[in-house]
Amino acid sequence: MKGYDCLVIIKANLTEEERDKALESFKGWLTKTEAELLEFNYWGVQDMPETFKPARQAAYFHCQFNGTNKTLDLLNEKMRVDESFLRHMIVRIESVQVPAVVEKAKA
């Protein structure tokens, strides 16, 4: 399993119940592929950049998890189809480390 950092952006106009359902679906997709959820944070509703119109605001969530390629494939497939999710970005944790830390680890 590899470590991943994920930013999820969902519609701000969802009710609290709809938002919770979307997030439980996300967590369920991780569980289905035997991924390990390490951290899950709600960042709140924030303004969207102009490039993401027509939505003016969105709810942001951040998580870190350990998973496989199967996990990534399922997340990408499900979030593309579910209309609650506006955008998402998944990055391998090693790829976001500070270069000095990476060089130190290699030594």
For residue range 23-69, what is the model confidence (pLDDT) as tens digits?
999 999 999 998 999 889 989 888 887 766 677 889 999 999 999 99
Amino acid 50: pLDDT: 72
For residue range 71-91, what is the model confidence (pLDDT) as tens digits?
999 999 999 999 899 889 999
- Domains annotated for the chain, with CATH where assigned, are 2-106 (3.30.70.60)
Q: pTM for the complete prediction?
A: 0.77
Cα angle value 8/12/13 (rounded, 5°): 140
DSSP class of residue 98 equals -
Does the pLDDT at position 96 exceed 60? no
Please give the backbone phi and psi of residue 19, each rounded to the nearest 5 degrees, phi first. -65, -45
